[in-house]
Amino acid sequence: MIYPIVKYGNAVLEKPAEPITEFGAELKKLVDDMFESMYEAKGVGLAAPQIGISKRLAVIDITFKEDPNAKLVLANPEIIYKEGKQTQSEGCLSIPEFREPVTRPNKVTVRAQDINGKWYEKTGEELLARAFLHETDHLNGKLYISHLSALKRDLIKRKIRKLIKAGEW
Ligand SMILES: [Zn+2]
């Protein structure tokens, strides 16, 4: 099932999500639906709050279907190590049409549970590190625009408010 992506302005995007406690058929179905919804939206990462479900769950595939082994399920993820710095243009499916350069650590290790509840650690660099950070932020109710200067952030918010008023958001 393909879920519509929740857009900026919806409160679910800005509150901390609830831990995943049950690893069963229901979660597997949700994860399948999240991958499907992410691919449909042309994204490389999706957090459950972005489909209106306030749970600490995210999916990532930075290869966008190229490599089946690159499909990652992150339940209850936490960033446990960060190193270096990178600045790249970043966007978010919940804030469509906007992109801004964001400086983040270049190498991070995430600790998360897989689809079966098994804990694992994975280290990623560059885009994968960015995806780990971006999706984990989502589960803490934080959007990438919070990493921008107040000036840039307010400009984007103002543009979005206009779009909302015009019924184009
Ligand atoms: Zn996002």
The catalytic position among 78, 90, 97, 135 is 135
151 C-alpha to ligand 1 centroid (Å): 20
Give the Cα separation of 35 and 86 in Å (integer).
27
Active site residue 135: yes
pLDDT score recorded for residue 92: 98
Return the pLDDT at 111.
98
What number of H helices and E strands is found in the chain? 3, 7
User: pTM of the full predicted structure?
Assistant: 0.97
For residue 121, report the distance from its CA to the centre of ligand 1, in Å.
Answer: 22
* CA nearest neighbour of 130 among 89, 165, 76, 169: 89
Which 3 state secondary structure label does DSSP give 72?
strand
Instruction: Note the Cα 50 to chain centre separation in Å.
Output: 8
Residue 22 one-letter amino acid: E
Using the mean position of ligand 1's atoms as its centre, give its distance from the Cα of residue 166 in Å.
23
Question: pLDDT in tens for each of the 169 residues of the chain?
Answer: 999 999 999 999 999 999 999 999 999 999 999 999 999 999 999 999 999 999 999 999 999 999 999 999 999 999 999 999 999 999 999 999 999 999 999 999 999 999 999 999 999 999 999 999 999 999 999 999 999 999 999 999 999 999 999 999 9
Task: Name the strand (E) or helix (H) holding 13.
Answer: none
β-strand pairing of 107-113 with 119-125: antiparallel
> What pLDDT, on a 0 to 100 scale, did the predictor assign at position 162?
96
Give the pLDDT confidence score for residue 89 in this predicted structure: 97
Report how far ligand 1's centroid is from the alpha carbon of 94 (Å). Answer: 6
How remote is the CA of residue 92 from the centroid of ligand 1, in Å? Answer: 4
Per-residue pLDDT at 17: 98
